[in-house]
Chains A and B, each alone.
Chain A
Amino acid sequence: MSPMLNPVVETAELEKRYGDASRPIRALAGVDLIVDTGEFVAVVGPSGSGKTTLLSTLATLLTPSSGTIRVAGQDLGSLSESERTVFRRSKIGFTFQSNNLVPYLTARENVELMLRLNGTLNKQTRPLAGELLDRLGLGDRLNSYPNQLSGGEQQRVAIARALVHSPELVLADEPTASLDTERAHQVVSTFASLIHEQGRAGIMVTHDLRMVRYVDRVVRMEDGRVASILEDPAAIEALAQGAPMPVSIPAPIEALVA
């Protein structure tokens, strides 16, 4: 894969430390990661490996202790809290494990919420939510409330919400956590095709290795570092079918990036 000139995500020596300075706990211990437009990346790894911390940092919900992080050309370190809020609603799309949707808004209203928050809901953008939901197979559920939708339908509404405002980066936190196998495959494959189609950069944190077959790259994290990266479609497919993930990094990170 050839990196573009302006990658959507670019981190270097990214560290996040907790606790006192003498004995810090390093949730991120130097992460270098580049994700390009149109690329869908899975971040996998055991609990405590730092994948959730990485996601939160990319989402501007955590500030790194050191290192640099650029998303959509913006140095996140230089943003104030209110700037980060604006950055999140304009440049980032989100899906979460739980509490994904606003319970008192319909499917369509939940998706439109991103446009409302950004102040971009108007005549031109009004049909977007419906079109996107229709594309996700929810054309007849536009006016349903979240508690009238199945888990898979709710995830798909969340995906529509994560894409409707044309964000540069889409972050998905365990999107299949509450879904059965069939639904999980359906949700992630649709997600992947929309990301590719719309030319977004997507990062999905998952513990479900079966889902990696839809991504372009698998980043395995361990102890706050990138332990290995898989890019070869055949290797990714093997991983999805149960083959062990190579534990060591096959080549220096720099070589992969370059």
Chain B
Amino acid sequence: MSLYLASKEIWRNRGRFLLFSLVVALITMLVLFIAGLASGLSAANREYLSDLDAQLIVYQENSDYLINASRLPMDKAPDLGRIPGVEEVGAIALTNAAIWPAGGGEAFDITLIGVEPGKPGEPALNSGRGLRGSRSREAIIDKRIAEELRLAAGDTLTIKSTQGTQEEFFTLTVAGVANRQYYQFLPSVIVPYRTWEQIRPQETEPQADAEFIPNVFAVKLQPGVDAAEAQAAVLRTVPEVLVADLQTAIESIPGYSVQQSTLNTQRFFTLLIGLLVLGGFFQIQTLQKIGQIGMLKAIGAANRTVAGASLWQIAIVTALGVGLGGLVTFLLTLGIPPEVPLQLTGATIASTTLLLLLIGPLAGMVSIRLAVRVDPLTAIGQ
């Protein structure tokens, strides 16, 4: 009965209800875009770190968990390796550089990462092979660089780096291609650590025997070892270090938490606006129908019927709007260029959609309450 009344009313006023579904669709698109942006920006900031085959990051003491502010001597590695439960330790050094495109054009900014071949820090590969030798002039590039510059394993690329007052160019052979490995919004080129020391931008000309000083160590634990216990063990045994699990390390990337909370606030307010707009619409709608609802009750329609009709309407309008908005958003994302940091995963879409479907009935509570409270007596004597 409720569904009958609800669908009849929607069909008779389909223009108005469709318009409202469009508003819901736009709100859905906005919420989805913000969610996609939050997830895309988050990924672009941390991808390299979250993909690490390691559980702990070891920093220099007093570095405040800032990778760029941390410098640790290589001789910490054996100390870390001896801690019970630690399987492998890998040194990691990060800096910014650029790829000089072979055919000219603009330099392509990258994060240049120095790692120990075969140790934690070297990403998993999609194609090609891993790094060999700490001084070899070869690199692992991430998928985005491979696609943008059309590079594959075996090709060469040129790194442009300012050393002293000179612009130096280093040619590297692509050994392998990994998944996207963004760090601080730049795609990554991963090189052996001694190569990194030679080619990184620096204030003076590099010396041939310069010591490599990594920023942090990635620590891979043996399976089943508790990360918190291992963390405590690191602090007990190795002097002058800080240690964090991956999640803390990610949240400590400068700007990461602030950016995410900004986007989450936006998402929250967009949902709130959606709630109020929907609630307002249905409330006005119900207020306009007070006489009609009174008449329905007077001829014997139960409160359940009247409230159910309102709920159905809201559910139908919301579902239609959310479905439409989701579909349009999906179609739009197909045409979005890869440099836009928009990442809409199934999980993001599902959770956002569910949330949006819930605000409809929530927004309808006021109007349902109004409808239930209409006195059928209003039908008489008017």
Contacts and interface: CB of A to CB of B under 8 A. Distances in A.
A173 B294 CA distance: 14
A45 to B, nearest CB: 13
Nearest to A52: B381
Contacts of B300: 85-90, 92, 114, 117-118
Nearest to A114: B299
Contacts, number: 80
Interface in A82-134: 82, 85-90, 92, 94, 96-100, 102-105, 109, 113-114, 116-118
A86 B13 CA distance: 29
Interface stretch (A3-11, A30-38, A56-64, A250-258): A56-64
A55 interface: yes
Given A56-B381, A116-B1, 9 more contacts: A62-B377, A88-B298, A89-B301, A97-B382, A98-B382, A99-B291, A104-B8, A104-B12, A173-B381
B18 interface: no
B1 A117 contact: yes
18 contacts: A52-B380, A52-B381, A55-B381, A56-B377, A61-B379, A62-B377, A88-B298, A89-B299, A89-B301, A94-B298, A94-B299, A96-B379, A97-B381, A97-B382, A98-B291, A99-B295, A102-B295, A118-B300
Contacts of B9: 104
Given A99-B294, A103-B292, A104-B13, A82 B377 contact: no
Nearest to B11: A104
A61 B301 contact: no
Give the 4 A-B CB pairs with smallest separation, nearest first. Answer: A89-B300, A104-B12, A99-B291, A88-B300
Contact of A99 (B13, B301, B382): B382
A232 B13 CA distance: 51
B315 interface: no
Interface string A225-236: 000000000000
Contacts of B4: 116
Interface residues of B, number: 28
Interface in B292-317: 292, 294-303, 305
B379 A99 contact: yes
A161 interface: yes
B299 A88 contact: yes
Interface residues of A, number: 33
Interface of B: 1, 4-5, 8-9, 11-13, 291-292, 294-303, 305, 375-377, 379-382
Q: Which of A55, A104, A105 has the most CB of B within 10 A?
A: A104
Contacts of B8: 104-105, 109
B299 A117 contact: yes
A96 B382 CA distance: 8
A56 B380 contact: yes
Contacts of A82: 302
A85 B302 contact: yes
Contacts of B292: 99, 102-103
B295 A96 contact: yes
Contacts of A114: 299-300
Contacts of A55: 380-381
Interface string A47-88: 000001001100101100000000000000000001001111
Contact of B296 (A87, A90, A102): A102
A174 B305 CA distance: 27
Contacts of A90: 300
A105 B215 CA distance: 74
Contacts of B302: 82, 85
Contacts of B381: 52, 55-56, 97, 173
Nearest to B379: A96
Q: Which of B11, B294, B379 has the most CB of A within 10 A?
A: B379
B380 A113 contact: no
Contacts of B305: 117
A82 B300 CA distance: 9
B377 A145 contact: no
Contacts of A161: 299
A114 B379 CA distance: 16
Nearest to B4: A116
A92 B5 CA distance: 21
B301 to A, nearest CB: 6
Nearest to B7: A104
Nearest to B303: A85
Contact of B301 (A59, A92, A109, A117): A117
Nearest to B293: A99
Contacts of B299: 88-89, 94, 113-114, 117, 161
Nearest to B6: A104
Nearest to A51: B381
Q: Which of A61, A90, A92, A105 has the most CB of B within 10 A?
A: A61
Nearest to B294: A99
